[in-house]
Structure 1
Amino acid sequence: MKKCLVCKNECRISNFRLYKQLKRKDSRITEIVLNLIDNNKFIVHGYWLCREWKCQHEPRCYNDSACLDIWLRKHKWQCKHEPFKCSFRKTCRSLECKCRYNRFRQHEWKCQNIWIKQNEWQCRHDQKCKTERKCRQQEFQCPNEWQSTEYTQELLKDYLEKTPQEQDDFFIERCEKCKKKCLISSFRLYLQQPKSLEVS
């Protein structure tokens, strides 16, 4: 249980977020599964978010970094330096820094926050995106996300009995839109069966 910083009520954890970096032999997925086993309070579902690069620009970008740079310049990173536009956000940020020449050569966090505030995400699509992630997906990520049927206690126990290689494949699903394989993004926990498993 954690106390909400806004309403001060205590809330149960609702999901575990997983990232691609966790896909290795010492993965914490096994640790999470161990905690889910023999816990009959929750109904467990898997949730996938396809994060594969899928350029939507014309002409097509040659790699995902170039694609991201276009999105940043259009929706977030607004470089105002003339006559040349900064090629790296780090350079852009350092040029705006007002404290880098101070006596102790210390960078004040307030200076960095000012730059960040000036470069907040602003959706410039015709139909405004609700979140920054959705905005990025429109231009350089596959927008697919989906949820699994229930992971029963038997399925979770079956996972622990598999070899490390089989465990790596256990929570990988193929995206129906881009056909790339995706590692599970999170486990969703419910106190009762959700009415709909579709993710909008």
Structure 2
Amino acid sequence: MKNIKYYSLICFFIIFSCVPFNISATEDDELKFESVIERTKKSVVILSMNPNVDPETDPSKTGLCSGVVIDDIGHVLTNFHCVHNQNYIRLYYHDIDDWQIYEVNVIGLDPLGDLALIKVIGKEEPIPYLKFAKDTEKIKEGMDVFALGHPMGMVWTVTKGIISSTERYARHPFIKAIQTDSAINKGNSGGPLMNMKGEIVGINAL
């Protein structure tokens, strides 16, 4: 009987001591994720496009996309379909407490990969940028990811999910795409899909 009581007492203390540890770990993860979101927000920009040189000619044709800054001199990745045949493209960058508007140059286009590289004009100060995930072998099904963008003009919308597949060929039989269950809506196009460190693992396309 003494042995049974002693064993029960040990189990009680093990369980009791583990519960606070699990709770604090969860809180730490949440705080860490919040800080990652806050750090990455300034690198995710809004693009406003219109096929007319003067968007006031037909405002109904103005569209919105997202983009992600990838270096400190203002190169931005977005989708090809966001800038294709658009004669008016403006980039909105959040600087300190307000949105600043900049013109851009289209540097390169990849229609099959649905990618476009543009560069901000007239921004002299370094721009916070995001890095690409280095170890692509770790990008696997079930990996936690999140999308950050401006769907339907709702700035800095965060949606979290997992990588559903790394073997999708949506646009071309030789171009591999990543599938995610993170919610992607109109306006998310061109924004980053990131791992929990805030590194780019893909560019969202809809």
Same fold flag (TM > 0.5):
no
Which structure has more helix as a fraction of its residues?
A: 1
Structure of greater relative contact order (alpha carbons < 8 Å, 6+ residues apart): 1
Which structure has more strand as a fraction of its residues?
A: 2
Length-normalised TM-score, structure 2:
0.22
Length-normalised TM-score, structure 1:
0.22
